[in-house]
Amino acid sequence: MKKENIALEAHNLTVIYHKKPVLWNIDFALPAGEIIGIMGPNGAGKSTLVKAILGLVPLNSGYSRVFDQEFEKVRHRVSYIPQRQTVDWDFPATVRDVVMTGRFQQRGMFARMNDEDRRIVSDALEKVGMSAFAGRQISQLSGGQQQRVFIARALAQQADLYLLDEPFVGVDASTEAAIVDMIRAMRDEGKTIVVVHHDLHTAPEYFTWLVLINASLIGAGPLSEVFTDEKLRATYSGKLTILSQVGDKLREKNFPVREK
Amino acid sequence: MKSGLIEDFLFLGDPNVRIVLPGVLVLCAMAALVGNFTYLRKRSLIGDAISHAVLPGICLAYLVNGEKNLFYLLIGALASGLLSVFLIDFLSKNRFARNDTAIALMLSSFFGLGLVLLTYIQHQGGASQSGLDGFLFGKAASLSELDVYVFSISFLVISGIVYLFRRGFGLMSFDEDFAQSIGFPVRWLRFFLSVLTVWAVATGIQAVGVVLMAALLIAPSLAARLWSNSLKQMIFISVLVGLLSGYSGSLISYLKPGMPTGPWVVISAGVFALISLMVAPGKGLLSQWKLRKSNETKMLTENLLKLFYQISEKSENQTAVTEDDLLNRRSLNRSDLSRGLKLLIKNNYVLDIQGAWRLSAEGEIEAKRIVRLHRLWELYLQEYLHLDADHVHDDAEAMEHVITPDIERQLEEILGRPERDPHQAIIPRVYDTK
């Protein structure tokens, strides 16, 4: 892959929580302009991988690069959509308030929002079909509507790389279809979309690229190369539980994971 | 004489009130202001821990300095309050203890240490003069003019900081990971908020005491949340509730000498929160109760209309229905029945013909609509949830009342414009389009 084509790369990424390796030597390079799934069984470290790339969890070793630069330098080109359940939807805010936070990065902590911001927010709400709900309290939304609000916020960020953590969990079928359509439209505009996902049935339909992990990397590449029986079995069969057993032992004995 | 007292209070005619009242008001406003973020970030218990944890700091500051100097006491309070927050976060982050355990442990350990130091100071004979014992339960009457100046400046500074950092504090309280992902300095914001909280607590305990301080942080926010739709509204309302609590608490203790100010302020705040819980629009218990009542009425009247329709279906030439006809087909108590009929007559759905009833033209349309929804829903339950025909009736009974025209259209579509329900009864059409 040519350097200028790479949207996201991880080198030797290792994350250790409480002495237990959650991500182990993850190494991959993902091309721009694709819809990429990150898949693996429960507890495989999918969400942690995304957070590690964004610097939300401390790395024990390795690094990631975005558009061939340090993440800090291209932060404004990256949009993160956390799992819907991680926030308190009883917060006193309207749908528009939440989508407006998608403009905070461009304006910083202090500058005023201007008409352009308001227009971008309205457009984003329009695209996810939530215009009619702009003034509604977020505590009154259904799961699917909450996810649409999060997508609208991401659209308002006008990024080039989108990282979505489990966007299809607990949403209705029509919202799932709408999100998939939106993701495809974004890809057609040249954006790169990375989706943490766990439903194997829909994976070949949704993604053009795939990353399989189970603490360590099983495969990363075009769908046809990675979505194979052999690789899926390696990801989901539990052969790698030996690694997690060793991890448990390390924690039990309070052993360091690396020599220094 | 009473009215004279109240005037003195309102117009600050009494020199004591002139100092105590503004002091208490500013303290309450300050606690309410920072309390919003404590509440929204679900750190109410940490607020309680902080207020207990400032006690040893205050005592140490007194011991080192040898006199009750506000400035040193605040520094001491700030130091031990922040230390407790830091220890709680450290313990729970490193899995030495769960968060609730860490909070409980720090709260009681710091408070215990504070009590030990306080007893030591008392045995030296200094505590009563020093006024330190007032920190336990608060002693508003002991506020000095200097205190009030310091509090007022603190309040202005804290308000300014909250206003300046509103975007950061707000986003961090809602979605910390996102705030960090867009590069907001979340660690610093978190630290700022801790400092502000400890500062508000450290100043507030002079009037309210360490034991009760947490209520002053949380109760105004709790009340305000029920009345507000945005963070801005919530902040303003909570400060207002804080001020009202401070005012009513001071008023009570002024009118009844010997009544403690601090506890009455806290009780007032609690009462405001409780009242809000009852009467706040939408979320309050009263609105919920009203909603339930109106749902019950809707179910009652709609079920009666359905009954009328079913009777007319059975015997087409029957023109009017008696009370007994209705009661024979459905177990209803008579008072509900007559209440429902009255409402239906008022809405012109049912006509009263000398002690018997019949549907009006509008009533017939409405009845058809309800029966239709009931039967469509029964069919849907049978075909898609694979329920037996003899089970679907009860499930349809409650749900038919909430089906919107939009859902009705979708039901029609997936069921393929059905003619009959699971019991082979005809599904009526309101407007025969065919």
The predicted-structure confidence for A3-54, as pLDDT tens digits, reads as follows 678 999 999 999 988 777 889 899 999 999 999 999 998 888 999 999 999 9
| Local confidence band at A256 (pLDDT 50, 70, 90 cut-offs) | low
Q: How close B218 comes to chain A (CA, Å)?
A: 15
Q: What is the pLDDT of residue A240?
A: 54
Predicted TM-score (pTM) of this structure:
0.83
Residues of B in contact with A55 (CB under 8 A): 180
The predicted-structure confidence for A41-56, as pLDDT tens digits, reads as follows 888 899 999 999 999 9
Q: What is the pLDDT of residue A172?
A: 86
Q: What is the pLDDT of residue B67?
A: 77
Cα separation, B137 vs B135, in Å, equals 6
Residues of A in contact with B165 (CB under 8 A): 109
The nearest alpha carbon in chain B to A108 belongs to B184
The nearest alpha carbon in chain A to B161 belongs to A110
> Average pLDDT of A200-228?
92
| Burial of B79 (C-beta count, 10 Å sphere; 0-12/13-18/19+) | middle
Task: Closest CB to A18: pick one of B95, B168, B183.
Answer: B95
Inter-chain residue contact B231 with A51, CB threshold 8 Å: no
Task: Please name which of B399, B388, B410, B30 lies closest in space to residue B206, comparing C-alpha atoms.
Answer: B30
Inter-chain residue contact A91 with B95, CB threshold 8 Å: no
- Is residue A210 within 8 A of residue A220, CB to CB? The reply is yes
Which of A75, A109, A164, A254 has the most B C-beta neighbours within 10 Å, making it the best mutation to test the interface with B?
A: A109
- What stretches in chain B show pLDDT beneath 50? 1, 433-434
Q: What is the pLDDT of residue B256?
A: 83
Inter-chain residue contact A75 with B183, CB threshold 8 Å: yes
In three-state form (DSSP H/G/I as H, E/B as E, the rest C), the secondary structure along chain B is CHHHHHHHHHCCCCHHHHHHHHHHHHHHHHHHHHHHHHHHCCCHHHHHHHHHHHHHHHHHHHHHHCCCCHHHHHHHHHHHHHHHHHHHHHHHHCCCCCHHHHHHHHHHHHHHHHHHHHHHHHHCCCHHHHCCCHHHHCCHHHCCHHHHHHHHHHHHHHHHHHHHCHHHHHHHHHCHHHHHHCCCCHHHHHHHHHHHHHHHHHHHHHHHCCCCHHHHHHHHHHHHHHHCCCHHHHHHHHHHHHHHHHHHHHHHHHHCCCCCHHHHHHHHHHHHHHHHHHHCCCCCHHHHHHHHHHHHHHHHHHHHHHHHHHHHHHCCCCCCECHHHHHHHCCCCHHHHHHHHHHHHHCCCEEEECCEEEECHHHHHHHHHHHHHHHHHHHHHHHHCCCCHHHHHHHHHHHHHHCCHHHHHHHHHHHCCCCECCCCCECCCCCCCC
Cα separation, B47 vs A61, in Å, equals 37
Residues of A in contact with B234 (CB under 8 A): 92
Q: What ipTM was estimated for this complex?
A: 0.90
| Pairing assessment for the beta strands A35-39 and A69-70 based on DSSP bridges | unpaired
Say yes or no to pLDDT of A1 above 80: no
- B281: number of Cβ within 10 Å: 9
Say yes or no to pLDDT of A191 above 80: yes
